[in-house]
Structure 1
Amino acid sequence: METTMAPKQVAECLLTLVMINLLVVSSFSLPLNRRSLKLIQEINRKGPYIGLITVYPPEEAAFFNTGAFKPNPKHPFLDFSGRRFRVGKIHDKKVVYVRCGVGMVNAAAATQQMLDLFDVVGIVHFGISGNANNSMSIGDVTIPQQLAHTGIWDWANPNRTLDLDDVAQLDFEEYNEPKGGENLLGHIGFRNEQFYSESGNPNIARPLFWAKTTRKWLQFAAHLEGVELVQCVNSSLCLPQKPKLVVGLRGSTGNTFVDNAAYRNFLFQTFHVSSVDMESSAVVMTSLSNGFPVIVIRGLSDLAGRQAGENPIQTFGPLAAINACKVVVQFIKDLPEAGYV
């Protein structure tokens, strides 16, 4: 028996289709054309994935040189906003990988793109970092339990009192040589982040200094401390001791490459951080803001200024990247399906 729709029903149906179309279009930024949208839908039908984010080419080279990443033969990558998101597997675990670029803006942007575009269950961020802890060594790998953005400052004149809400203070006068006298650089107050979260009230931020990585993933990572790490750059250049993996320390992030012993020591003594980098807290905060699990894995490549002479990052950076990647691969391999969420 043939039926026809009433004019009101037809109008309601058309309105529904229009609204669905508008929602789909508005869910993505303008560079996404129909072909890209279709590709993303096809990729996501095969999900979910673990999102992997590293920073710059030497880390990427170390990651691919592990041989663990196997590209998806049908849809190996998606190019979006100048970044290439690579789709594949590591030990039968589905992953999407991207190199974000240096600095907190790049890190936050790439993380948000990853979370918006792909069906991911969480983010694994990895790379190299400076070492701010004298009990740690170049080549060691750290998986911090919490990270701070130590680059939000109130930079005040010498005669101005800092905000009482500031977390800590650095006075430039304390570093005068010889001691005494006024320093025109004044002092710096370290501020909290403004943290917006889907679990909070809309458009209302709460102050946050320490952004914590996901406890469940961190607990699982503690079982990886037996991972065999690389000690030698080549047959004639080796570290004096075997590198180790340490889980549960603190890390610092800021848009500054730290290669200054005095500032390094200040960060360690004030905030008790063991690593310093330029991206991690941005990845963590963006992931947490969206309600996704996140973990950070960083290989220590240099002493952040404590060394005599030139920074050794050019020499030991590749080794530190290799060690970080070895831990990443093992983490993904051993992560149980139940550990995804």
Structure 2
Amino acid sequence: MASHDHTLCLLLPLLFIIFISSSHVLLVSSTPSHKLESVITIRKVNRRGPYIGLVTVFETEEDAFLGSVDFRPDPSHPFLDLSGRRFRIGKIHGKKVVYVRCGIGMVNAAAATQQMLDVFNVKGIVHFGIAGNINNSMSIGDVSIPKQITNAGLWDWLNPDKAKGGEDVAYLDVGNYNVPQGDGKNELGTIGYSSEELYSVNGPINSPQKVFWINTTQEWLHLAAGLEKIELLQCVNSTLCLPEKPKLVIGLKAATADIFVDNAAYRNFLYNSFGVSSSDMESSAVAMTCVSNGYPIIVIRGLSDLAGVGDNTVRKFGSLAATNTAKAVLEFIKKLPPYHKTNPYV
């Protein structure tokens, strides 16, 4: 009997309490009280949903967004802290939202997005922030809402003598950029750009689809069509202005990688090889996570700098690009239909 009691004591910390919140099943350890409190709070929050999920990246973008929108925190549960991130719950122009700052890079972006989809009763994700300009027809301060995004950081780094071919989508021959130019031979070899493996709720189990482009949600792109007429800021202050009035463009392509691109040659390679107009470090991770889980996704990025121009303009115009992005996000939220509670039992 004593042995049985001892075994039971060892097993108790491993038991799980199952809470059904909206359509989500949450598994939480029975021992830490803060986790139990979080689950109870999440259930209460989700009863008031569904919400629009908002995901941005770092402080400059967050300051511009929260400083330019009328965000009204939920009076009972204004925020919830999970895994070191603060998820803010409230309304913007009458629309219920859950907002989080994910942090820089693809791992942070995917982790925060997956957590939002798993924990909260959201109908889709609006991802936004600033980005580098890759397209010479675009300018600093412009806002891009892309239709397709690729992970431009998934590489096969080949030996110089290895023949090109196979499944790679494009190749960057390092030797082509030798200075002075010679025969193109370089020991760094060639970088081959690979496809993603997309696991999706809409696909067969454990059989990922090979994809190079992740599509944002067509219906949301159509909804955003009227945003091209919105007024965007041209000046940071009375003495620092852009030479041209910024514009918003819908339907371009974007690249994501855990690389800050400030190199003109590489910028030109990305544009010539893939036709992308912007480069950032999070968008494809957010988009792929949403597509994998079957949720709508739209990406809104303000251009803060032109890669490789010498003087990195992100310090000058990053705040303006973030503010223009926030204006576009706000106008898109206004266009979204109100989402009403559909499950009376949560």
TM beyond 0.5: yes
Aligned-pair Cα RMSD in Å: 2.0
In the alignment, is the contact (CA less than 8 A) between 1:233 and 1:316 conserved in 2? yes
Paired residues of 2:16 and 2:28 also in contact (CA < 8 A): no
Of the three residues 52, 75, 81, the one matched with 1:73 is 75
| Correspondence list, 1:233-248, <5 A | 233-248=236-251
- Are the structure 2 counterparts of residues 215 and 161 from structure 1 closer, same or farther at C-alpha, using a change threshold of 3 Å? same
> Contact 2:129/2:300 (CA < 8 Å) preserved in 1?
yes
* 2:320 corresponds to 1:319: yes
Matches within 5 A, 1:300-319: 300-305=303-308, 307=309, 309-319=310-320
Code of the residue aligned with 1:333 in structure 2: it is K
**What's the offset of the Cα at 1:204?**
1.2
TM-score by length of 2: 0.89
Q: CA deviation at 1:333?
A: 1.1
> In the alignment, which residue of structure 2 is the partner of 1:12?
none
Instruction: Tell me how far apart the structure 2 counterparts of residues 35 and 21 of structure 1 sit (CA, whole Å).
Output: 12
Count residues with an aligned counterpart. 321
Q: Call closer, same or farther: CA 1:237–1:122 in 2, change over 3 Å.
A: same
Query: Are residues 289 and 339 of structure 1, via their aligned partners in 2, closer, same or farther at CA, if it must alter by over 3 Å?
Result: farther
Shift of 1:339: 12
CA contact (8 A) 1:216 1:339 kept: no
Q: Name the counterpart of 1:125.
A: 127
1:20 deviates by: 9.6
| Equivalent position of 1:164 in the other structure | 166
Contact kept, 8 Å, 2:18 with 2:28, in 1: the verdict is no
Residue 67 of structure 1 deviates from its aligned partner by 3.3
Structure 2 residue identity aligned to 1:251:
A
Q: State how far apart, in whole Å, the 2-side matches of 1:117 and 1:331 are.
A: 24
What is the deviation of 1:310?
2.0
- Higher alpha-carbon deviation: 68-77 or 249-258: 68-77
The answer on 1:99 being equivalent to 2:97 is no
When the two structures are superposed, what TM-score results if normalisation uses the length of structure 1?
Answer: 0.90
From 48, 51, 55, the counterpart of 1:49: 51
Q: 1:1-341 alignment to 2 at 5 Å?
A: 21-22=17-18, 27-28=26-27, 33-181=35-183, 182-305=185-308, 307=309, 309-337=310-338
Gaps of 5+ in 2: 1-14, 342-346
Identity of aligned residues (%): 59
Deviates more, 1:157-166 or 1:314-323: 157-166
Kindly tell me: are residues 152 and 69 of structure 1, through their superposed partners in 2, closer, same or farther at Cα, counting changes over 3 Å?
Answer: same
Q: C-alpha distance in 1, partners of 2:257/2:263?
A: 14
Amino acid at match of 1:134: N
**Are residues 122 and 26 of structure 1, via their aligned partners in 2, closer, same or farther at CA, if it must alter by over 3 Å?**
closer
CA change 1:186–1:81 in 2 (3 A) is same
Counterpart secondary structure, 1:233 = coil
1:57 and 1:185 map into 2 onto residues whose CA distance is: 37
Question: For residue 8 of structure 2, what is the aligned residue in structure 1?
Answer: none
The CA deviation at 1:172 is 0.5
Deviation at 1:179, TM superposition (A): 1.1
- SS of the equivalent of 2:201 reads coil
Compared CA separation, residues 92 and 22, structure 1 to 2 (3 A) = closer
Runs of 4+ in 1 over 2 A off after TM superposition: 19-32, 336-340
Shift of residue 330, structure 1, vs aligned partner:
0.7
> Cα distance, 1:21 vs. partner?
4.4
Instruction: Measure, in 2, the Cα distance between the counterparts of 1:290 and 1:272.
Output: 27
Contact 2:18 2:27 in 1 (8 A): no
SS in 1 for 2:298: strand
Give unmatched runs, 5+ long, in structure 1. 1-18
